[in-house]
Amino acid sequence: MRALLWFKQDLRLDDHPALQAGLTAECLLPVYVLDPALLQLNEFGMRRMGVHRARFLLETLVALEGELRQRGSHLLVVIGSAEQAIPQLVAQFNLDQVLTLEEIAPDERAQVARVARRLGDIPLQQAPANNLLRTDELPFSVEQLPHVFSRFRSLVEERLQVFQPRHAPDRLPGLPDGALALMQPLPTLSQLGLGEPLSVPASAFPFSGGEPAALGRLRDYLWKTQGVRQYKDTRNGMIGSEYSSKFSPWLANGSLSARRVVAELRRHEAQFKRNDSTQWLWVEMLWRDFFRWTLIRHGSALFKAGGLKATERAPQQLDQRFQDWSRGRTGMPLVDANMRELAATGFMSNRGRQVVASYLINDLQQDWRHGAAWFEEHLIDYDPASNWGNWAYLAGVGNDPRHNRVFNALRQAREYDPDAQYVSLWLPELRDVPQALRHTPFLLAGGHLRSLGYPQLDSIPESWKPYLHAVA
């Protein structure tokens, strides 16, 4: 076999079924196609990938090249479209097989199908996706996927799930003759037209891209600091790197395998005992899988305004309030602080994501898909299933048995940021406001608020009244 290994969202060597399938090849050409179309504006007027994820991706590709080199191979990065690049390389190097990852999102699936068509007789073999559970491990058929998470979880947990991911191989087959000459340095962010992101010391995600960093974080969180043992108590935090695992950006581009995470979690539990926190992390990993299977089951419906429920219920308007929300200038400090963190760093806590999404949908009554598209551009850990699945869920058009989940933003602020530390971190203009008013600057006299340069709320929602004054 003379094979091309087409890397996509599986930028690792550990637990990599397509790579394992190529180990016996006479020669193997590892390729990544960086498609500039990702940087162009989509139907929502936003990019599919912004500067933070692009930086993380470039770091990941550099790390992958380093790992391949250590094993006698290299990564060929092609700027262009996969439809053109993959068949062209196959022809140029007389290859007879393409190995790749199975896709779960409709656009990516359609692209793989187009590449397969252009390959003609050359087989394109797709290895299992980045899910935790494989199709044959599901206790039901995909068509019978439960609509609600609790049912999914109980069915999955009825069986003992054992994950035995395979480690990265020591050596890889060599490149086809002449391929080395094609290797080129990666483009910089500026060459991609993105500019360089500023490094922000307050970032909750101060890590770099790439498999070594991912495995390092996994070791730290599960074995060294053992932050996982307190996860249940810390997971609603918003400041610093330790309140949650921070696995998501590596999971999203596949530089970390979900099966490796759970295999290590089980090993940790075998040695140190299971507790509520280790159990909670497992449940979160199951949520991730639930959204992935939901996307596989329902496909493009997840991206429509009416979502899986095909309903007219969710608001469909879009006006200045969306712009204010996206810029972190709504006048609601907890929302604004989270949106500014996202813009500055590409990361936002799970608590923050729930609050800002609910605020956009329920308080500002804006079309949830624009919020999801904004997240798609800006999140460093953007993942189609988790992003659109969570947004649809919160908009009441996904797989939530309730119609919608309304988060009272001020109540959330009081509960999860009682000392206003988080809003002070991201909203410098409020640092001189007395602490007791930092979540409610709209109670200040109008002139004072204007002099701070912070926006005034349109009106104070009735449901906030019980939380207007901080408890001493």
Nearest CB to ligand FAD, comparing residues 38 and 460? 38
Nearest CB to ligand FAD, comparing residues 48 and 246? 246
**Count of C-beta atoms within a 10 Å radius of residue 434:** 11
Minimum distance of ligand FAD from residue 454's CB (angstroms) = 25
Nearest CB to ligand FAD, comparing residues 53 and 74? 53
- How far apart CA 345 and CA 347 sit, in angstroms, is 5
**Count of C-beta atoms within a 10 Å radius of residue 460:** 15
Compute the residue count for the chain. Answer: 472
Helix extents (H) in 299-349: 320-327, 333-345
Nearest CB to ligand FAD, comparing residues 54 and 251? 251
The answer to whether the beta carbons of residues 280 and 244 sit under 8 Å apart is no
Minimum distance of ligand FAD from residue 195's CB (angstroms) = 23
Residue 328's closest CA among 444, 434, 423? 423
Q: Fill in the DSSP letter of residue 41.
A: B
- Strands of the sheet containing 76-79, edge to edge, are 76-79, 27-34, 2-7, 97-101, 124-127
The dihedral sign for the CA sequence 339, 342, 348, 354: positive
Minimum distance of ligand FAD from residue 42's CB (angstroms) = 15
Minimum distance of ligand FAD from residue 144's CB (angstroms) = 21
Q: And the tokens for 463? A: 């449901």
Nearest CB to ligand FAD, comparing residues 93 and 416? 416
Minimum distance of ligand FAD from residue 247's CB (angstroms) = 4
Site residues for ligand FAD per CB under 6 A: 235, 244-248, 251-252, 281, 284-285, 287-288, 291, 349-350, 353-354, 357, 375, 379, 381-383, 386-387, 390-391, 394
Minimum distance of ligand FAD from residue 386's CB (angstroms) = 4
How far from 316 is each of 30, 81, 364, 373, 398, CA to CA, in Å? 44, 33, 11, 14, 15
Minimum distance of ligand FAD from residue 11's CB (angstroms) = 15
Nearest CB to ligand FAD, comparing residues 64 and 348? 348
Nearest CB to ligand FAD, comparing residues 74 and 246? 246
